[in-house]
Structure 1
Amino acid sequence: MNGLYVLANILFISLISYRGRKQQTVPFLKVIFWPALVFKLICGLLVGYLYQHYLLGGDTFVYQQQAEILSRYASQDPSNYLSFLLTGEYQSVYLYDVMKYREYSNSFFMVLVLHFLNFETGYNYYLNAVYFSLFSFYGCWQLTVTITKVFPATKVAAALAFLFFPSVVFWSSGVLKESILVGSSTLLLAVVLQFVYQPGNQKVVLRSIALLVAAFFCFKIRFYFAVAYFPLLAGFALVELAARRWHLPRQKKLYFYLVALLVLGIGASFLHEAINLDYFFRELINSYQTSKLATTRKAFIDLPHLQPTFASLIQYAPKAIGSAIFRPFLGEINSVEYWLAGFENLLVLLLAVISLLSFWKHKSNLPITLVVSLLIYILLLAGLIGFSTANLGSVSRYKVAFMPFLLYLLLQTGANQKILTRLENWVNDLLSNKAK
C-alpha cells in the first residue's frame, strides 16, 4: 500500500510540475524551471536525511510523529476529531496529553498541516517533505516569474536569490517552518506586485485567494515577522497605486509612504495580543538567554549586558543585525558546515560592499518604495533573529526568512547588476552559437 501512495504522489507531482513548466512563455523561465525545481526537491529530501541521520531527528521528525498521532485519531474517534478541528478544544484527555505542541501555535500549525498531508501521502515523511518543498518553490517561482515580467532587468538577480542560492534553497526546503515562511512571504510579495503592476479583472479572484492564503500561512508560522511584513507591503502598494493615479512626484510619494507606514504600523500592532512592548522585550531576552545556554560552540552572538529596554536594544542593534547577516565568518568555527556557511557569508559581504560603493552611479531598476520596504523588513528580521538567537548554527537557518530578499536587492544594485547583465549576455550568445 505504501508503494501505491508513493507512485500516486510521484505521478501527481510530475503532472503539476509538467503543467507549471508548460505555462511558461518566457525563454529564460523555461530554461531555469527544471533545474530550479529539481534542486529544490533534492534539498527537501536532503534536509530530512540530515536530520534523521546526523541531527538525531530534530523538531522536523517530532512534527511528523505528532501529525501521525492526530491523523490516526481521525479514524479512531471521528466525532471528537471533527470537534477538535472546528473548535480547537480537546474533548479527549488522550489527545490533550499526547499533543506536545498544543501551547506553541506555530509548531502546532506545522502538525496540523502535516496531519492533513498524511492522508494523501500515507504517513510518508519524505513525501511530506516534497510537498513542503513544492510550496516553498511555488512562492519563490511565482515571485521570480512576476519580477521577470515587471522588472525584467532584474530577472537574473531574482532567479539567483530565490531559486539557486544554496543555503536559501536548502533551509527553505523539507518539513521546516522556514519552508512555509519563505513560500508564503515570497508568494505574498508576488501577488502584491501583480496587483500593483499587472492590473486586470481576469485573475482578481485567484490573486485574492492566493493573497489570503499566503498572508494566513505567513501569520500563523511567524506572526512577529508578519506584523512587520504586512504594513510594509501594504504601504508600498497603496503609495505606488496612488502615485500612478494622481501623478505624485518622487518627494511627495516618499512623504505619503512614510505616513502610510506609520498608520499601518500602528494598525498592525493590534493584530495579536502578544504585541506588547514589555512582553515582547522580555520574550526576546528569554529566547536569547535560552539559546546562549544551549550553545556548545565557542563562537556565538555575544550580547553580554542585553536588557529588555529600548536603550539596550539600540546599543546592541548593529552587532545583532551584522551578526545575523554576515556570521559565521569564514574560519570562525572549524567544521565543514560552518566553512560552507562562511564562504556564503563572505560572498554576501562582498556583494554588500560592491553595492554600497556603486549604487549611486547606477539608477535602480526598482521603485524606491519597494527598496525601502524590503530593506526595513530585512533589518527588522535580522535584528529579531540576532537578538533572540545566540547560536550561529540556528542563525544560519533562521536567516533564510530575509536572506533571499537581501540577495535580490544586492544583486540588482550598482556594479552587481552590470556584472549579471554581462553574464546573461554571455550565456545568451553561447546558447545562440550552439543553436546555429
Structure 2
Amino acid sequence: MELQDLFLTPLYLGLFYALAYAVRPRFTNSYTKKYFIPALTVKFIGAIGLGLIYQFYYTGGDTYNYFNQSKAVYQALTEEPAAGLALLFNSSGKYTPEIAKYASQINWFSAPTEFFVIKISGFFSLLCFDTYTVVALCFAVASFSGMWAMYTAFVRISPAAYKELAIAVFFLPSVFFWGSGLMKDSLCIGALGWVFYGFYYGIILRQHVARSLLTGAIGIYFLSHLKIYILLSFLPPALFWVFNEYNQKIRSSLARNLARPLFIVFGLGAAYLGATRLTAGDEKYDVNKIGERTKINAAYLTTQVSNGSAYNIGVLDGSASSLIKVAPQAIIVSIFRPFLFEARNPVMLLSALEATYFLYLTITLLFRTGIVKSFQLIASQPILTFCFIFAIVLAIGVGTNSGNFGTLVRYKIPLMPFYLGALFIMRQLQLTQKSHSGRKGLAARSIRRLAYS
C-alpha cells in the first residue's frame, strides 16, 4: 500500500456507498433491506483487512503478486490501448509482437487462472489510478454482487430464515475475510452466487428466465476460468436438484417412485458428461487424472508448511479407491476442523471457532430432530439434498487437495454458506413442523373440552 491509498480509498468508499444506497431499493425488500449495507461493509473490511494482513503479517503474498503484475496490464491500457486490449483478451498464453513488451513483465502470463485474475485487476486499476486498496474494494463489490444474489435465492427458498441465512452468507469471518480482497477466492464465491441464483430462478422457478440464465452463464464463465472444480462440485447435485423438483410435481405416487431411479441415472449421466467435457485435456482438472493430481497437490502443499498447520487424512496413492477411503476424513477436516486445540495462530483460531460452531449446530440439530428423521427431512427437501451433497463433494475435493489448514481455510469458503444455510433451513422446517403440530394439538384439546362441556 502506498500514500495514494490513504487519499483515494475514502473517496472511492464514499462513491461505492452512494451507489449501494441508490440501488438498494431495487434489490431488497422490507426484510432484507437492513442487511444490504452491513453485508457490503464487512466485505470492505475483509478486502482492506486482507491487504493489511498480507503486508504487515505475511510481508507479501498472492494478493500483492496479482496487483504488482497487473501493473503491466494497466501500463499497456494507458500507453497503448490497442496492445492493452489485446493483452486483456489474450487467452492462449502465447507472446505476440503487439503484447510482448508488457507480457514479458508478467510472471504468470502463461498460468491461465492467475493471469485471469491479473487481467481483472488491471482493468479495475484503470478505473482507480492503479491503487491497490481501491482495486481490492472493486473485488469486494464484484464478490458482494454474487453473494447478494445467493442470499436472494436462499431467502426465496426459506423466507422465515432470512436472519440466519444472512449470517450463513455474509457474516462468517472466514468467508468475508478470504472472500473479499484481491484474490481468486473473492471472484469464485461471487461467481458461485451468480450460478446458484441463475440456476434457481432460471431452471427451478423458471422466472425471468433470460436474465437468470445470463447471470448464471456469467458465473459459469468466471468459475471455468478460475476454479473449475467448484463448478464440477456444483453440477451433479444441481442436476439432481432439478430432477427432485420435477419428480415431486408428479401427482401419482406410483409414477413418482418409478420415475425417481430414471431421474437419478439420467442426472448422474448428464453430470458425468458435463464434467468430462468441461475438463477434457485440462492438465490440472481432467476427471481421468483427478486421483493423481490430488496426490501431487496434497503432497506439495503439505511440504510447504512449517508452522504446524499440516494435517493427515490417510494415504493417497493417486487411485480413485484411495480417494474413497479418505473421503470421510476429508469431509470432517473440511467442515469440522481445525479443532480448537489444533489452532497455532490467529487465522487458525478463527477457523477453529467457526468449525466448532458448525459442529455444535450439526450435533444439536441431529439430537433434537433425530438422526433418522433428519435424513428423511433432507431427502424430502430438494434444496437440502442439493446443499449437503454440494458441500460434501466440495469438502472431499478441498480436504484431499490442501494438506494443511492454512490453504484449507481459503479453499473451503464456497461450501460454508451452503452447509450452514442448509442447517438453518432444516431448523426452520423443524420449528414450522412443531408449530403446526402444536396448533393441531391445541385444536384437538379445544374439541375435547367442547365435547365434555
* TM-score, length basis structure 1: 0.86
Matching of residue 229 in structure 1 with residue 239 in structure 2: no
TM-aligned CA deviation for residue 251 of structure 1: 3.3
Q: Which runs of 5+ in 2 are unaligned?
A: 436-453
* Equivalent position amino acid for 1:384 in 2: G
**Residue in 1 aligned with 2:264?**
258
Q: Is the CA contact 1:139–1:183 (under 8 Å) kept in the aligned structure 2?
A: yes
Q: Is the CA contact 1:184–1:214 (under 8 Å) kept in the aligned structure 2?
A: yes
Pair 1:121–1:294, CA change in 2 (3 A): same
Q: Secondary structure at the match of 1:376?
A: helix
Q: Is the CA contact 1:410–1:416 (under 8 Å) kept in the aligned structure 2?
A: no
* Equivalent position amino acid for 2:180 in 1: S
**Residue in 2 aligned with 1:91?**
96
Deviations 1:206-252 (A, max 9, x none): 323212111111221111221231343244235525654x5464535
Pair 1:147–1:320, CA change in 2 (3 A): closer
Distance in 2, Cα, partners of 1:376 & 1:386: 15
Distance in 2, Cα, partners of 1:122 & 1:248: 63
**Residue in 1 aligned with 2:150?**
143
Matching of residue 408 in structure 1 with residue 421 in structure 2: yes
Distance in 1, Cα, partners of 2:211 & 2:37: 25
* Equivalent position amino acid for 2:96 in 1: Q
* Equivalent position amino acid for 1:17 in 2: A
**Residue in 2 aligned with 1:342?**
352
Pair 1:300–1:412, CA change in 2 (3 A): same
**Residue in 1 aligned with 2:53?**
50
Moved more, 281-290 or 363-372: 363-372
TM-aligned CA deviation for residue 16 of structure 1: 2.4
Deviations 1:333-360 (A, max 9, x none): 3433322322221111111212333265
Pair 1:63–1:79, CA change in 2 (3 A): same
TM-aligned CA deviation for residue 72 of structure 1: 0.2
Among candidates 215, 218, 225, match of residue 220 of structure 1: 225
Among candidates 388, 409, 413, match of residue 375 of structure 1: 388
**Residue in 2 aligned with 1:114?**
121
Among candidates 166, 169, 177, match of residue 176 of structure 2: 169
Deviations 1:90-146 (A, max 9, x none): 214443432211232211111011111111111111111112111222222122223
Pair 1:286–1:25, CA change in 2 (3 A): closer
TM-aligned CA deviation for residue 66 of structure 1: 0.8
Q: Secondary structure at the match of 1:400?
A: coil
Q: Is the CA contact 1:355–1:414 (under 8 Å) kept in the aligned structure 2?
A: yes
- Tell which structure's C-alpha radius of gyration is larger: 2
Among candidates 52, 70, 75, match of residue 78 of structure 2: 75
**Residue in 2 aligned with 1:15?**
18
Distance in 1, Cα, partners of 2:85 & 2:202: 37
Pair 1:252–1:136, CA change in 2 (3 A): farther
Pair 1:416–1:325, CA change in 2 (3 A): farther
TM-aligned CA deviation for residue 11 of structure 1: 4.7
* Equivalent position amino acid for 1:314 in 2: I
TM-aligned CA deviation for residue 150 of structure 1: 3.3
TM-aligned CA deviation for residue 332 of structure 1: 1.3
TM-aligned CA deviation for residue 415 of structure 1: 7.8
Pair 1:45–1:406, CA change in 2 (3 A): same
Pair 1:2–1:321, CA change in 2 (3 A): same
Moved more, 177-186 or 16-25: 16-25
Q: Secondary structure at the match of 2:277?
A: coil
Q: Is the CA contact 2:194–2:218 (under 8 Å) kept in the aligned structure 1?
A: no
Q: Is the CA contact 2:335–2:355 (under 8 Å) kept in the aligned structure 1?
A: yes
* Equivalent position amino acid for 2:397 in 1: L
Superposed, 1:185-334 pairs within 5 Å as: 185-196=192-203, 198-200=205-207, 203-237=208-242, 239-241=244-246, 243-244=248-249, 246-247=250-251, 249=253, 251-252=257-258, 254-268=260-274, 269-272=276-279, 273-274=281-282, 275-303=285-313, 305-334=315-344
Pair 1:417–1:408, CA change in 2 (3 A): farther
* TM-score, length basis structure 2: 0.83
Distance in 2, Cα, partners of 1:40 & 1:248: 48
Pair 1:140–1:65, CA change in 2 (3 A): same
Moved more, 100-109 or 400-409: 100-109
Distance in 2, Cα, partners of 1:327 & 1:108: 32
Moved more, 354-363 or 215-224: 354-363
Q: Is the CA contact 1:6–1:121 (under 8 Å) kept in the aligned structure 2?
A: no
Q: Is the CA contact 1:389–1:395 (under 8 Å) kept in the aligned structure 2?
A: yes
* Equivalent position amino acid for 1:222 in 2: K
TM-aligned CA deviation for residue 304 of structure 1: 5.4
TM-aligned CA deviation for residue 300 of structure 1: 2.0
Over the matched positions of the two proteins, sequence identity in percent amounts to 22
Distance in 2, Cα, partners of 1:248 & 1:38: 49
Distance in 2, Cα, partners of 1:21 & 1:59: 33
TM-aligned CA deviation for residue 414 of structure 1: 4.1
Q: Is the CA contact 1:45–1:126 (under 8 Å) kept in the aligned structure 2?
A: yes
Q: Is the CA contact 2:307–2:344 (under 8 Å) kept in the aligned structure 1?
A: no
Distance in 2, Cα, partners of 1:379 & 1:365: 14
Q: Secondary structure at the match of 1:100?
A: coil
